[in-house]
Amino acid sequence: MGYITDKNYYDNAANHGSYQYVSLQDIVNNFMLMYTGNHSLINNEERYKILFHAKRAIQELNYDAAKELKVLQLNVTDNLTFILPPDYVNWVRISLYKDGVLRPLTQNVQTNYAKAYSQEADGDVIFNSDGSVVLIDSEINSDRLDGTKRSIYLNPRNPFNGMEGYELDGDWYFKFNMGARFGLNTETANMNPTFRIDKKTGVINFSSEMLGESCILEYISDGMENGDNSSIGVNKLFEQYVYAYIEAEMLNSKLGVQEYIVHRARKRKTALLRNAKIRISDMHPSKIMQVMRNKDKWLK
């Protein structure tokens, strides 16, 4: 953004924190002014090519180094799903917000959703008039939505005799005492609800305990702001890397450029990315000192 007065900065909430970013438009304009021309390695290139590589550089930064997360809250309704936001790339943490406390959820290592084909009694698949398969609700989805009804397990010769458990397809599952008797399974050691992400349909599927609860999704965005170029920007700590990325990619795709020039541009791009990661790191000396104070604790 351009320079503004202090009054305009503080009076307009849209300007708060904006000075630490440089817009996509400024990046493209600066590159065309300073890195292209008759006496530069890059000349006679169209603006749309520079814009493309600038966007790709910002996307790569958001995936790898920027550490700028987005947070979204939604209530989980009867379908026990959470629709992923349009700019979602990957999740960082998914939590249950209850009683003013964030309770991290664990990812279900087992599948909790599926599509089911409608079948005849002999197992043949049923098709529509247009030749597509008829889809119905799968049993695994209905079990997740309804929850498995608890029953009393009766077996005098078994240590779980008289305890409440879950019966599913002839197998019994018990919610309590499994860790005390057989050892804790650290992979699933969490009393909070579980989730599993279905990337194909763009939803998060939750276990039945999340019904009516509030979910907090912390995720990584691609930084493209839903295609609004005027809203796309990058932290100024990464600005030099973006220019190096555009230059390296354009030289790599340009006909007749010597390999050593392309290699030099790639090395410069890599070095600037490493420097930018160090700059954006939040490991301040005061934070390290606070953590190191743990070494002075007495062990009882």
Domain chopping of the chain, boundaries = 6-67+224-277, 70-221
CA distances from 67 to 151, 208, 220, 224, 231 (A): 47, 32, 8, 15, 18
Each residue's pLDDT, cut to its tens digit, for the chain (300 residues) gives 456 788 888 888 877 877 888 889 999 999 999 988 888 888 888 899 999 999 999 988 888 776 678 899 988 888 888 888 888 888 889 999 988 888 888 887 666 566 777 777 777 777 887 878 777 666 666 666 665 544 455 566 666 666 666 656 666 666 655 444 455 556 656 678 888 888 888 888 888 788 888 999 999 888 888 777 878 888 888 899 999 999 999 999 888 889 999 999 999 999 998 888 888 777 777 877 887 877 777 765
Look at residues 53, 19, 65, 66 and name the one whose alpha carbon lies nearest to residue 243.
Answer: 53
End-to-end CA distance of the chain: 56
Residues in the chain: 300
Write b or e for each residue in 116-136: b if 16 or more Cβ atoms lie within 10 A of its Cβ, otherwise e. Answer: eeeeeeeeeeeeeeeeeeeee
User: How buried is residue 213: exposed, middle or buried, by Cβ count under 10 Å (0-12/13-18/19+)?
Assistant: middle
261: part of which helix (H) or strand (E)?
A: helix 259-280
Residue carrying structure tokens 């050691």: 189
Q: How far is CA 37 from CA 57, 204, 244, in A?
A: 22, 49, 16
d(CA 85, CA 209): 23
Give the up-direction half-sphere exposure of residue 247: CA atoms within 13 A in the CB hemisphere: 29
Distance CA 81, CA 94 (A): 13
